[in-house]
Amino acid sequence: MKENLVIPNHVGIIMDGNGRWAERRGLSRSAGHKEGAETLKKICLYAESLGVKYLSIYAFSTENFKRSKAEVDFLMNLFIEKFTKEFQEIIDHDVKVVFSGRRSPLSKKVLDAMDQLTRRTENNTSLVLNICLNYGGQIEILDMVKKISEQVLNHKISLDDITLDIVSSHLYQDLPPLDFIIRTSGELRLSNFMLYQASYAELYFPKTLFPDFLENEFMEAIVEFNKRIRKFGGNV
Ligand code: FPP
């Protein structure tokens, strides 16, 4: 069956449900995030083995700073630990890691870990893992508008030069459009995730909580993607 499936080029995952996964087991929310990070590694390697070329994941939204200090601190430390010590298997599989989001107010330690991982993987070619961290889709569009406006004001480009290619290349990362967005845990929202890139993405909302979203569930998602008829505004 696998051989005949169309594999989406760019998949986005909103990794929702870590907290509920932990609470249902009588564990702290942190335990859910930790397990979620394990699932992420497995899904990234599996997606790469299937031929997915771009995987964008929502690790931390600009709004997630509203969570308790303890949870935010835990997540930031988890990012540092994963990026500096535990991403080796991902690196060994030739995955290139890039980040999307605002740098401020992330701490120097987090930024250093992100920059180090970016540098270590910059020549890898099998799959691009785009980690959305301190990311908001509306703010990404706002930042893009500011960058392009600055160029116009400095006479580097004229208004007529602004094309969709120019817009795309002034987002945080110049990525192809999302083909497929998966949000786990049954919530039916995009929550500010890659709004520009999501324009014609197929959406899929499995009820599974993210830590349980393992290879078999990812394959089910791909099978579902293959049932969709994509029209891109045309009529077939
Ligand atoms: C949403 O679930 C999840 C997050 C805000 C954090 C996602 C982070 C990870 C999966 C860890 C990723 C690790 C790396 C290395 C990038 P929730 O906590 O809102 O779940 P709930 O809705 O059940 O409370």
Residue 97 pLDDT class (50, 70, 90 cuts): very high
- Helix H segments across the chain? 18-24, 29-50, 69-81, 88-92, 108-121, 137-153, 164-169, 215-227
Please state, in angstroms and rounded to a whole number, the distance separating the CA atoms of residues 63 and 76: 14
Closest CA to 171 of 198, 191, 189, 190: 198
Q: What are phi and psi of 37, to 5 degrees?
A: -65, -35
Contact 52, 218 (CB under 8 A): no
Element (H, E) at 20: helix 18-24
Confirm whether 64 is a catalytic residue: yes
By DSSP bridging, strand 202-204 and strand 95-100 are: unpaired
Give me the percent of the chain exceeding a pLDDT of 70.
98
Segments making up each domain of the chain, as ranges: 7-136+178-225
Which region holds residue 217: left if phi is over 0, alpha if psi is between -120 and 50, else beta?
A: alpha
Residue 50 pLDDT class (50, 70, 90 cuts): very high
| Alpha carbon of 177 to ligand 1 centroid (Å) | 23
DSSP state at residue 51: T
Q: What is the CATH code of the structural domain delimited by 7-136+178-225?
A: 3.40.1180.10
Closest CA to 130 of 168, 165, 175: 175
Rg (CA), the chain: 18
By DSSP bridging, strand 54-61 and strand 127-135 are: parallel
Q: What is the pLDDT of residue 235?
A: 81
Q: What is the pLDDT of residue 83?
A: 97
Please state, in angstroms and rounded to a whole number, the distance separating the CA atoms of residues 188 and 76: 26
The atom of ligand 1 lying closest to the CA of 87 is: 15
In this structure, the residue with its CA closest to atom 1 of ligand 1 is 16
* pLDDT single digits (tens) 157-205: 999 999 999 999 999 999 999 999 999 999 999 999 999 999 999 999 9
Closest CA to 133 of 36, 30, 61: 61
Confirm whether 115 is a catalytic residue: no
Q: Which residues pair with 204 in a beta bridge?
A: 182
Q: What is the pLDDT of residue 1?
A: 53
Number of helices and strands in the chain (H, E)? 8, 6
Q: Which residues pair with 9 in a beta bridge?
A: none
| Alpha carbon of 19 to ligand 1 centroid (Å) | 7
Please state, in angstroms and rounded to a whole number, the distance separating the CA atoms of residues 72 and 197: 27
Residue 2 pLDDT class (50, 70, 90 cuts): low
Q: What is the pLDDT of residue 138?
A: 98
pLDDT of residue 59 exceeding 70, the answer is: yes
Give me the percent of the chain exceeding a pLDDT of 90.
96
Q: What mean pLDDT is predicted for residues 139-151?
A: 98
Residues near ligand 1 (Cβ within 6 A) = 15-20, 33, 36-37, 40, 59, 64, 78-79, 82, 131, 210
| Alpha carbon of 22 to ligand 1 centroid (Å) | 11
Q: What are phi and psi of 147, to 5 degrees?
A: -60, -45
C-alpha distance from residue 103 to each of 61, 80, 84, 97, 146 (Å): 12, 14, 18, 16, 16
User: What is the rounded average pLDDT for all residues in the chain?
Assistant: 97
The atom of ligand 1 lying closest to the CA of 83 is: 15
| Alpha carbon of 77 to ligand 1 centroid (Å) | 13
